Amino acid sequence: MAQSIRNPAELHERREQRLMMILLAPALLVITVLLVLPLLWLAWQSIRQDGGFTLAHYERFLTDSVYWVTFLQTFRIAVTVTLMTVILGYPVAYVAAGLPQRWSILVLAMVLLPFWTSVLVRAYAWLILLQRNGIINSVLTGSGLIDEPLRLVNNEFGTVMATIHILLPFMVLPLYATMKKIPGELTMAGASLGGSPLHVFLRVFLPLSLPGMIAGMVLVFVLTLGFYITPELLGGGRTYMVSMLVSRNIEVYNEWGAASSISVVLMVCVFLVFRLASLLIPFERIMGTR
Amino acid sequence: MNRSKFLLYGFVALILAWLMIPVLIILPMSFSGARFLAFPPPSWSLRWYESYLGSAAWMQATRVSLTVAVCSAFISTIFGTAAAYALNLTQSRLVRSLQALLLLPLIVPIVITAVGIFLVYAQVGLLASMTGLILANVMLGLPYVVTSVLVGLRKFDHTQEMVSRSLGMNRWRTFFAVTLPQIRPSVISGMLFAFISAIDETVVALFISGGENQTLTKKMFTALRDEIDPTIASISSLLTTVSFILLMLAALNARNTERSQGRAT
C-alpha cells in the first residue's frame, strides 16, 4: 500500500486493471454459470455412477453399435455438407467479390436474407418443398418426368439438403471477406506475365483465398456436428445425429450418464477440429474477430 | 473466356435462386385456402393468419418470444459492449485469453448448451420461467455483441478518449460523449444480431421453456413434429418479414457507418 502511494504509475495501472475486470465481470459471470460450470459438471457426471468412479458410460461407445454408428453418420454428413458448401459457396463468393459494389451488395443480400431467417422456418420450407406431395414432386410428376413421387424427405437426403442451405452463408461470408482483400494487381500481374486465366487463378488467387475457405470449412463442419433441428424435423427418425442421441438419452431414457459421455466426446471432437485448424490459421480469424 | 464467365454466372444465379426459393415459397403458401400444402394454392385466403392471430395460445407464445428477445438483446448489448471495451483496452495476456471464453457459446453444440442450462435451472428453480429464458438468451447473444463491438473499437482512435479526459471529462462521460457515438453502428448491429438470435432460438427453449412461458419457436417445433399445419406458414411468413426488416435496418446501419467513416477521413 505504502509502496503504491509512492508509485502513482503502478497505482494507476492497478486501478485500470480492476476497472477492466469489473467491465468484463457480468459477461464472464453469465457464461461461466450457464456454460462453463455445466460443461464441467457433465464431464464429472460422465465418469460417475452410484457415487463411484466408472468408465461404463464410455465403454458403451465400444459395445453399443448405436453410438458409433451415430457418430459415423454425423461425421459423414458433416463431411458431405462441408464439401458441398465449398463447391457452392466458392463461386458465389468469387462472383460477389469481383462484381462492382452495387451488384455485389445484391448478391450478398441474397446470401444474407436466408442467413437472417429462422433455422426453423427454413427447415419447414424444405419440408414443404420436398415432401411426398410437396412442390418438387408435384412439378416433377406433373411434367411427366417421373411417375411415382420421389422420396426426398424423412431421410438423409432431406437433412443434408436443408443443412447445406442453412450453413452456406457461413462459408460465403468469410470467403468473401478474404477475397475482397486480395489485391487485383496480383492477378493482373500474373496475367501480364503470361499466365492463362485458369493458371493465374490456381497459382495466385486460390492460395490467397485459402484462409477464408479454411475458416468457412471449420465453422460449417463444427456446426454440422452439433446440428439438431434439421435431422429432427427432416430426418424422419432414420437420420440419427449425435445431438439427437444426447437429447433422446435425457428426454426419453433419463440416462444422464450416457448423455454426459456423448456430450464430452462431441465437445472433444469440436475442440480437436478447432485445434487442428488453428495450426493453419489463428482462432480469431475463424471466428471473424480479426 | 466469355463462355466460361457466362457459365460461372449462370451457376451462381442457380445457387442464389436455390438459396432464396425456400425463404420466398412460404409467402404464397401462407395465403393458401387449402388445408393441404399444394403449390400453387388452389384458392387464396387469410384463414391461416386468422387461425394464428385468433389463437390465444399462439399469441401468448408470441408475447413470450418478443419479451425474451427484447430484454435479452438489451442486456447482452450492455454486458457485451462493456466486455468488448475492456478486452480492447487491456494489455494483460490473461484478460485477452478470456476473449475465447466469451465466444464459447458459438462453439459449443447447442444441444449440449441446452442440457447444461437445464441442469443449472433444475437446481435453482428457473425452469419454465421468464427470467431463465432471458438469462439463457443473454448468454447466447453475448458473442455477437462482443464480436461486433470489438470490430468497431479497432477502428476507433483511442487517443480521442485520452484527449477528452485530459480536458477534464471523467471516464464515464467520455465513453458516452466521445466513444459511444463513434462505435454506435457496431453496437447496433450487435444488438440486432442478439435480437434475431433470441427470436429464432429453438433448442434451448425446447429444454427449458414450458407452461405459460413457452416460446413461439418451441410451439412451432412441437407442432411441426406432429403434423404440417399451415398456420405455421403464416407464422413463418411473419418471422421472415421480421428478419427482412432487421436485415434492412442492419444494411442502413452499415451504410451510416461507411458515411461517418468517410467524414472522418
For cell 457464461, name the residue. Answer: A31
Tell whether the model's pLDDT for residue A257 goes beyond 60: yes
Is residue A283 less than 8 Å (CB to CB) from chain B? Answer: yes
Query: What band does A193 get if pLDDT is binned at 50, 70 and 90?
Result: confident
Count how many domains chain B has: 1
B33 is a domain residue: no
Residue A122 one-letter amino acid: R
Asked if residues B1 and B211 have their Cβ atoms less than 8 Å apart, the reply is no
Residues whose CB falls within 8 Å of the CB of residue A190, separated by 6 or more in sequence, listed in order: A199, A200, A203, A204
Q: Does A202 touch chain B (CB under 8 A)?
A: no
Examine the pLDDT at A4 and tell me if it is beyond 50.
Answer: no
Q: Band of the pLDDT at B261, cuts 50, 70, 90? A: low
Burial class (CB in 10 A: 0-12, 13-18, 19+), A254: exposed
Between residues A134 and A157, the one the model is more confident about: A157
Q: What is the mean pLDDT of residues B77-99?
A: 87
A94 contacts in B (CB within 8 Å)?
A: 8
Q: What per-residue confidence (pLDDT) applies to A289?
A: 57
B243 lies in some domain: yes
Kindly state whether residue A55 falls inside one of the protein's structural domains: no
Distance CA B16, CA A88 (A): 10
Of the candidate ranges B58-67, B135-144, B256-265, the one whose mean pLDDT is the lowest: B256-265
C-beta of residue B59 within 8 angstroms of C-beta of residue B78: no
Residues A259 and A146 occupy one common structural domain: yes
Q: Contact A262/A45 with Cβ under 8 angstroms?
A: no
Question: Looking at A113-127, A131-145, A263-277, which range is the least confident one?
Answer: A131-145
**Can you tell me the mean pLDDT for B3-20?**
91
Is A275 a domain residue? yes
Q: Are residues A37 and A139 in the same domain?
A: no
Cβ under 8 Å to B: A residues 145-184? 165, 168
B93: closest chain A residue by CA: A17
Residue A10 and residue A93 share a domain: no
Q: What one-character-per-residue DSSP string does chain A give?
A: -HHHHH-HHHHHHHHHHHHHHHHHHHHHHHHIIIIIHHHHHHHHHTTEETTEE--HHHHHHHH-HHHHHHHHHHHHHHHHHHHHHHHHHHHHHHHHHHS-HHHHHHHHHHHHHHHHS-HHHHHHHHHHHHSTTSHHHHHHHHTTS-SSPP--SSSHHHHHHHHHHHHHHHHHHHHHHHHHTS-HHHHHHHHHTT--HHHHIIIIIHHHHHHHHHHHHHHHHHHHHT--HHHHHHSTTTS--HHHHHHHHHHTT--HHHHHHHHHHHHHHHHHHHHHHHHHS-HHHHHT--
Q: What is the CATH number of the domain that holds A212?
A: 1.10.3720.10
How far is residue A266's CA from residue B179's CA, in Å, rounded to a whole number?
41
Average confidence (pLDDT) over B214-236: 86
Task: Decide if A224 touches B, using CB distance below 8 A.
Answer: no
Interface of A with B in 77-96 (CB under 8 A): 88, 91-92, 94-95
Q: What are phi and psi of A49, to 5 degrees?
A: -155, 130
Q: Is A237 exposed, middle or buried (0-12, 13-18, 19+ CB in 10 A)?
A: exposed
Does A163 share its domain with A25?
Answer: no
Burial of B91 (0-12, 13-18, 19+ CB in 10 A): exposed
Same-domain status, A211 and A277: yes
- Calculate how close chain B gets to A133, using CA atoms only, in Å: 8
DSSP conformational letter for B44: B
Domain count, chain A: 2
Rounded to an integer, what distance in angstroms lies between the CA atom of residue B12 and that of residue A287?
26
Q: Strand pairing partners for A53? A: A48
Do A37 and A132 belong to one domain? Answer: no
- Residue pair A213/A175 in contact by the 8 Å Cβ criterion: yes
Query: Is position A50 within any domain?
Result: no
For residues A25 and A130, state if they share a domain: no
Pick from A29, A289, A290 the residue to mutate for testing the B interface (most B CBs within 10 Å): A289
Residue B241 within any structural domain of the chain:
yes
**Residues 200-229 in B contacting A (C-alpha not used; CB under 8 Å):** 200, 202-203, 207, 217, 220-221, 224-225, 228
Chain A CB contacts of B106 under 8 Å are 287
A191: containing domain: 65-287
pLDDT of residue B1: 55
Residue A60 lies in a domain: no
| A61-69: average pLDDT | 86
* B77 pLDDT above the threshold of 80: yes
Are A139 and A230 part of one and the same domain?
yes
- Nearest by Cα to B62 from B230, B220, B249: B220
- A40 shares a domain with A105: no
| Cell numbers describing residue B194 | 442478439
The count of residues in chain B is: 265
β-sheet bridge partners, residue A48: A53
Considering only CB atoms, A31 lies closest to which of B112, B142, B217, namely B142
Residue A203 pLDDT > 90: no
Q: A138: which chain B residues are within 8 Å (Cβ-Cβ)?
A: 38-39
Distance CA A271, CA B31 (A): 46
CA dihedral A154, A160, A164, A165 (to 10 degrees): -10
The per-residue b/e assignment along A88-103, b for 16 or more CB within 10 angstroms, e otherwise, is bbbbbbbbbbebeeee
Alpha-carbon distance of B142 to B80, in angstroms, equals 5
Do A26 and A124 lie in one domain? The reply is no
CA torsion, points B225, B229, B231, B236, in degrees to nearest 10? Answer: 50
For residue B5, being part of any structural domain is answered with: no
For range A225-229, the mean pLDDT? 91
- Chain A residues close to B15, C-beta within 8 Å: 88, 91-92, 168
Give the pLDDT confidence of B174-199 residue by residue, as tens digits: 888 888 888 998 999 999 999 999 99
Task: Indicate the pLDDT class of residue A6, thresholds 50, 70 and 90.
Answer: low
Secondary structure of residue B213 in the 3-state scheme = strand
**How close A278 gets to chain B, by Cα (Å)?**
13
Are A85 and A167 in contact by the 8 Å Cβ rule? The answer is: yes
Return the CATH number at B154.
Answer: 1.10.3720.10
Among A94-103, B108-117, B160-169, the range scoring the smallest mean pLDDT is: B160-169
A272 interface with B at CB cutoff 8 Å: no
How far apart, in whole angstroms, are the C-alpha atoms of residue B61 and residue B54?
13
Judgement on whether residues A27 and A163 belong to the same structural domain of the protein: no
Residue among B7, B90, B111 with most chain A CBs within 10 A, to mutate:
B111
- What are the b/e assignments for A123-136, b being 16+ CB within 10 Å? bbbbbbbbbeebbb
Chain B residues near residue A173 by CB distance under 8 angstroms: none
Pairwise pLDDT comparison (B187 vs B252), residue with the higher score: B187
**Contact call for residues A288 and B147 (beta carbons, < 8 A):** yes
**Of B75, B65, B63, the residue nearest B194 (C-alpha):** B75
Q: Is the model's pLDDT at B234 over the cut of 70?
A: yes
Q: Is residue B188 part of a domain?
A: yes
pLDDT, averaged across chain A: 86
- B200 contacts in A (CB within 8 Å)? 118-120
C-alpha–C-alpha distance, residues A151 and A148, integer Å? 9
pLDDT score of B265: 41
Residue A245 located in a structural domain = yes
Please report the ipTM that was assigned to this predicted complex: 0.87
Distance CA A231, CA A240 (A): 7
pLDDT at A267: 94
Question: Could you tell me the pLDDT band of residue A288, with boundaries at 50, 70 and 90?
Answer: low
Q: d(Cα A116, Cα A120) in Å, to the nearest integer? A: 11
Q: Is the peptide bond before B40 cis (omega within 30 degrees of 0)?
A: yes
Domain extent at residue B199: 73-264
Domain assignment present for residue B153? The answer is yes
Do the chains contact at B18 and A165, CB–CB below 8 Å? yes
Evaluate whether A223 touches A167 at the Cβ level (below 8 Å): yes
pLDDT higher than threshold 80 for residue B37: no
* Amino acid A1: pLDDT: 47
> Taking the CB of residue B165, how many other CB atoms lie within 10 A of it?
14
